[in-house]
Amino acid sequence: MNIFLRYFSIFFLIISYSDIYSQYAIGTQNLSPTDASRGGRAVATYFYYPAVSAGTGMPLAIPPVGGFPVVVVGHGFSMDYSAFTNFKDSLVPKGYIVLIANTETGFSVSHGNFGGDLSFLVNYMQLQNTTVGSIYFGKVRNKSAIIGHSMGGGATYLGANGNPNVTTTVTFSAAETTPSAVAACASITTPALVFSGQNDCVAPPASHQNLMYNALASSCKTKIQINNGGHCQYSNSSFTCDFGEGTCRGTSTILTRAQQQPIVFDYLYKWLDFYLRGNCLAYTSFQNLLTTDSRITYLQSCSYTLPVATIFNTSSNLKCAEDSVRLYVATPFSSYIWSNSIADSTISTAVAGNYFAVVSDVYGCKDTSNIINITNRIAQRASISPTGSINVCGTIPNIPINASATGLTNYIWNTGDTGLSYTATSLGIYYLQTEDINGCIGNSDTLSLVSVSATIPIINPSDTTYFCPGDSVVFSVTPSFITYLWRDGADSINYTAYETEYVYLTTTDSNGCTGFSDTIYVIKWPVPIPTVLHNLDSLEADTGYASYAWYDDIGNLLSTDRIFFPTTIPRVFVLKVVDINGCKSDAVATLFSFSVGINNIEINEVKVTPNPFIDKIILDNITTPISIFLYESSGKEVLKYESIINSTFDIFTSTLSNGLYILKITTENQQQIFKLVK
């Protein structure tokens, strides 16, 4: 890659950096893991992590390669975790696991214990990454930061001191502690970012953060002082912190939280992205912002520079056969990947082409070297190709292999056979050796005949495999195949079952192999057929249904009981039932009311006899015109006589079946219904 292209690419990537990562939902745990090394001390902590969906105890999202980095947060004096949830709201969606310690929250605190808690939480998360059964198993990156505010800032240095699992520290208006955070800084060599507020009256920079910055032994350390910055504005509002700052601030002006926090996160994102994720563009973006930002002043002592790779070769000429050239990277780095995928600082090759190396430093930053073009006198090689597929589907192959070898001589297959063609009758690897006009011996590419298994189709129902009449279930197939053949002969990708049946599929995959799916039994439930018993004053549905609903003839819901007692009659009623399979059906019924029992009946001197009756019903003493209607108990009308004026009238019933009947007698202004038994 020439110099222009290299710097153009770097410039393009730098201006493209915008702190954008996948946005994750926030999962939550409230745990108190115990530190066995400190007598089983319980470390109350709120765990926030990238989750598949927001909520308590939700599974972690699928992490990027290497896992999610960890950020442990230490709160300020007399504050608790709730003041620092702005850090989890900002960092977790970007792919960080954030732990906010909730110990030492009172007025009588142990700075040493708090620092120990922060250090323990870093180690605890690395252990969770290798603990089978933990929700964090295999998802935690081996990069961790301790960050802290005020007292938590001082405790950050106490916790980072001597802990090799701490990758970097970030502090916000850190305050001196007992034991001394300043003294601990002298032993800290990991990269450190120190924030201070110009108008911080609680932990003034001159007597706190400046001393810590100067004492840090870090190979790369940066101190950012926020113009007009205060002490409490890094976190959410806290009564104790705000009250304390209010008592010492006097008339000095400080930024609001809405002004100060964006400045902090502008730098924090880039710092963490570089040191915990290995994003070297974030480092460049951090440095560019640092030198152009009028909102801050800064100090920096950093020996780090982005990697620059240069490769060299030891020879420029090659001969036939085993001759090769050696290429190497001049400067040592953490890792190397050559253009031919070799992961070493040095490679030897006899293959002509362009070679370059991509190197990575300890932070994961990469650079692509210059390009060296190797021109080799290598043997001309034959090319071989099969007639048909090299994937053999469960049978002994009989595959012709043909060679293209223009200008070459001495054809010898690896089986010992000679000639430009060969028929393979067994599985294995095949190649052809030839000699070119320069006398160089070369082998063709290899051809591997392998046995492959059929891909098994998986048929997936769209819903349950049992359904009600009028419904269906659709089966889809994974993965894709060349041909499809369902049990009924259909050759479509999907299949719809409408009846009770066995469903299975035969497929042909891209290798020509035949696969068979599992068989799934589909059930179409029978139509429910409810029956209604017509009682004297009620309608009674048969048992065994999941629900009942009685409606009148205009659709009004009247009852959801199995036995229904109408209040308005005679009338047609509709019963709707749902059976235990969820299938629905209707029944229609009619009911009449009664005012008398099974005896002889009189209405306005009309006498009805006998009751019970056999072959006729006799009506006597008819004094006004009447109409007569006789119904079966189901509501079916069986006889009707209108405008009867005779004083006596016989209803002949010999053709009627035995059972309960309903007799209705109407006059001009009166109606009465009676029950009779034959």
How many domains are there within the chain? Answer: 6
Residues forming beta bridges with residue 210, ordered by sequence position: none
Considering the domain boundaries, does residue 563 fall inside one?
yes
Asked if residue 77 and residue 51 are part of one domain, the reply reads yes
Where residue 5 falls among pLDDT bands split at 50, 70, 90? Answer: very low
pLDDT over threshold 50, residue 9: no
pLDDT tens for 219-248 read 899 999 999 999 999 999 999 999 999 999
pLDDT over threshold 80, residue 13: no
Asked if residue 366 and residue 287 are part of one domain, the reply reads no
Considering the domain boundaries, does residue 16 fall inside one?
no
For 4-44, the DSSP string reads HHHHHHHHHHHHH--------EEEEEEE--EEGGGTSEE--
pLDDT over threshold 80, residue 606: no
Most confident segment among 289-298, 341-350, 386-395: 289-298
Which of residues 283, 302, 321 is at a domain's end?
302
Structure tokens at 236: 């959410």
E strands, 217-352, in order = 220-226, 296-302, 311-313, 325-329, 335-338, 346-349
Specify the pLDDT at position 591.
58
Residue recorded with tokens 């120990």: 116
Specify the pLDDT at position 536.
62
Specify the pLDDT at position 285.
95
pLDDT over threshold 80, residue 596: no
Q: Is the Cβ–Cβ distance between 153 and 172 less than 8 Å?
A: yes
Residue 665: which CATH number?
2.60.40.3080
Asked if residue 211 and residue 78 are part of one domain, the reply reads yes
pLDDT over threshold 90, residue 10: no
Considering the domain boundaries, does residue 317 fall inside one?
yes
Considering the domain boundaries, does residue 155 fall inside one?
yes
Residue 498: which CATH number?
2.60.40
pLDDT over threshold 60, residue 318: no
Which of residues 560, 591, 622 is at a domain's end?
591
- Of 309, 388, 389, residue with least CA distance to 355: 309
Asked if residue 560 and residue 428 are part of one domain, the reply reads no
Asked if residue 388 and residue 279 are part of one domain, the reply reads no
Distance CA 287, CA 552 (A): 80
Asked if residue 147 and residue 289 are part of one domain, the reply reads yes
Considering the domain boundaries, does residue 11 fall inside one?
no
Separation of first and last alpha carbons in the chain: 110
Asked if residue 71 and residue 157 are part of one domain, the reply reads yes
pLDDT over threshold 50, residue 134: yes
Specify the pLDDT at position 15.
43
pLDDT over threshold 80, residue 85: yes
Asked if residue 233 and residue 288 are part of one domain, the reply reads yes
pLDDT over threshold 50, residue 599: no
Asked if residue 462 and residue 447 are part of one domain, the reply reads no
Specify the pLDDT at position 1.
39
Helices (H), strands (E): how many in the chain? 9, 53
Residue recorded with tokens 């002298």: 186
Residue 266: which CATH number?
3.40.50.1820
Q: How much of the chain, in percent, has pLDDT values that exceed 90? A: 55
Asked if residue 196 and residue 51 are part of one domain, the reply reads yes
pLDDT-wise least confident of 340-349, 421-430, 582-591? 582-591
Asked if residue 624 and residue 538 are part of one domain, the reply reads no
Considering the domain boundaries, does residue 38 fall inside one?
no
Asked if residue 391 and residue 319 are part of one domain, the reply reads no
Specify the pLDDT at position 251.
85
pLDDT-wise least confident of 287-296, 434-443, 666-675? 666-675
Specify the pLDDT at position 88.
97
Instruction: Provide the residue range defining the domain that includes 355.
Output: 311-374
pLDDT over threshold 90, residue 97: yes
Residues 284-292 have a mean pLDDT of 95
pLDDT over threshold 80, residue 269: yes
Specify the pLDDT at position 17.
53
Specify the pLDDT at position 563.
84
Where residue 22 falls among pLDDT bands split at 50, 70, 90? Answer: low
Average pLDDT, the chain: 88
Considering the domain boundaries, does residue 217 fall inside one?
yes
Which of residues 451, 468, 500 is at a domain's end?
451
Dihedrals phi, psi of 382, to nearest 5 degrees: -75, 155
